[in-house]
Amino acid sequence: MKPNRAGVAFGAAYIVLGVAWVAVAKPESPYWLVAWFVAVAVFGGFVPGVANQVSLARAHLAAPALVYSLASNRLGFLAVVLALAGLTDLVDGTIARRFDKPSRLGGGLDPVVDGVLLGAVAVGLAVGGIFPLWLAAVIILRYLFPAVVALVLLSSGRRPELRHTVSGQISTALIIVLVGGICLFRFMNQDASNVVIGAMIVIPIATLATFVHLGWLARRSMVAGGG
């Protein structure tokens, strides 16, 4: 791949927005955050397609998401960040279907950026004591494990089918809604214990269902390909 016009334009816009956010929010370690925006933008410069650039917004949002998840008095802002992330998750699919041709790259990129965003949120909330560390580990595993398996399959010469799955989309939506709900409840000084309990039950079940579904799809693909 080589740099493309959409990637460079979106990357520049994301850097400007990221630097503007750093200037307004005044977080600790601002230089590391700016470095993150630049690194994601450089990577995005080589990613073709407007839909994929919209997906990369979630990787950029991981920086403010981590900052806000570490500060209990800013969880309302975290809920807003998650809402924006959810919006990009809806928009990128619509753009891909209407203007871009859905691609293997897009199917693989989407869960990766979801994992980067939600992994950052999970770590921050666990460090801040908002919910258990093991639940943060489950959320990270939800995205890390499929990515590692796909990488192993690709390195072994196989061609796994990289695409959205219903179970994956549902689990991501549930994680965003539940984690965002916890943040919003805590920000409004409301008791979030029931939402936390719900997350502790629903997220592991949704993660397991996603793994089972992905395993079934991988097995079917290998059987169909004679593997």
Cβ-proximal residues to 14 (8 Å cutoff; 6+ apart), any chain = 37, 40, 41, 44, 56, 57, 60
Q: Stretch 214-225: mean pLDDT, rounded? A: 65
Joined together, the tokens standing for residue 209 give 């269902």
Predicted local confidence at residue 7, as pLDDT: 92
The pLDDT score that the predictor gives to residue 103 is 57
Q: What is the mean pLDDT of residues 38-50?
A: 92
Is the predicted pLDDT of residue 101 greater than 90, yes or no? no
Read off the pLDDT of each residue in 133-138 and give the average, rounded to a whole number. 93
CATH topology of domain 57-224: Four Helix Bundle (Hemerythrin (Met), subunit A) (1.20.120)
- Indicate the domain borders of the chain: 57-224
Please state at what angle helix 104-127 crosses helix 166-187, rounded to 10 degrees. 30
Question: Residue 130 has what DSSP assignment?
Answer: S
In this prediction the pTM is 0.83
Q: What percent of the chain has pLDDT over 70?
A: 83
Residues 41, 9: Cα–Cα separation, whole Å: 9
Would you place residue 187 in the very low, low, confident or very high pLDDT band (cuts 50, 70, 90)? confident
Query: So what's the pLDDT on residue 225?
Result: 53
pLDDT at 63 over 60: yes
HSE-up of residue 133 (Cα within 13 Å, Cβ side): 1
Q: Is the pLDDT of residue 108 over 60?
A: yes
pLDDT tier for residue 163 given thresholds of 50, 70 and 90: low
